[in-house]
Each structure stands twice: as C-alpha cells, then as structure tokens.
Amino acid sequence: GQLSLPSVSLLSPSSEQLSGGSATLACLLSGYSPQGAVVSWEVDGTEVTEGVLSSSEEEKSGRYSSSSTLSLKLERWMKGEQYSCKVLHYGHSQTQTLHRSQCQG
C-alpha cells in the first residue's frame, strides 16, 4: 500500500488557559496511512510522559488522524523553553517544536 506521512501541527496553550493556571499543548496528526503513528513529547530535549494523553486514530476515507496533548501546570510550563512533539511513522520521524518565549503576549 501507499505510505502517506502525517501532517503534524503543534498548538501552543491559549492565553485564556494560561490565565487559569494550566497549559495544554496539542499535537495534531492528519492525512496519514497506514495507521500506527506514535507521538512522544520532549521538553528542552528530555522526553516527558506525565500529563500526556493520546487519542485513538480515526479513519476517514482511507486516511488516519489522531492527536496527543501534553498538560502542564503553569509553573512547569514557565520553567521550560523548548517544547517538541515527535512523530514516528514507519521509520520516518518528524518533530515540531515551539519556543515558549515566542508564545508570550
């Protein structure tokens, strides 16, 4: 079958959320085939597993989509700078990174 790599987008926490004292980052995968994409999270180069929630993969006309979120307390979010979502799909790895200092304002 045809191998289609996922399109990956990484969403930073909303300002409303941050003012509420928490931070959730979302990594969205779409348009890939076959299923079996694996998402991992890194903060400043160290893998994080606590606070990670991954959805099941949903199939729509032969393509799959899924998402993974990383939930952090505000203090933890403020301590980190580089947040990365790593996606592994059949030997192909891709990483999306956001810098917290560039998310302010």
Mean pLDDT of the chain: 95
Rounded CA-CA distance 74/6 in Å is 30
Domain 7-102 top-level CATH class: mainly beta
pLDDT at 104 over 90: no
User: Could you tell me the pTM of the whole model?
Assistant: 0.93
Cross-strand pairs, 28: 9, 67
Task: Please report the pLDDT score of residue 36 as a whole number.
Answer: 97
Rounded CA-CA distance 5/16 in Å is 33
77: left (phi over 0), alpha (psi -120 to 50) or beta: alpha
- Give per-residue pLDDT as tens, 53-94: 999 999 999 999 999 999 999 999 999 999 999 999 999 999
Six token digits for residue 14: 């909303």
Task: Please report the pLDDT score of residue 2 as a whole number.
Answer: 84
Each domain of the chain, given as residue ranges in start order, spans 7-102
Look at the block and give the residue holding tokens 């085939």: 33
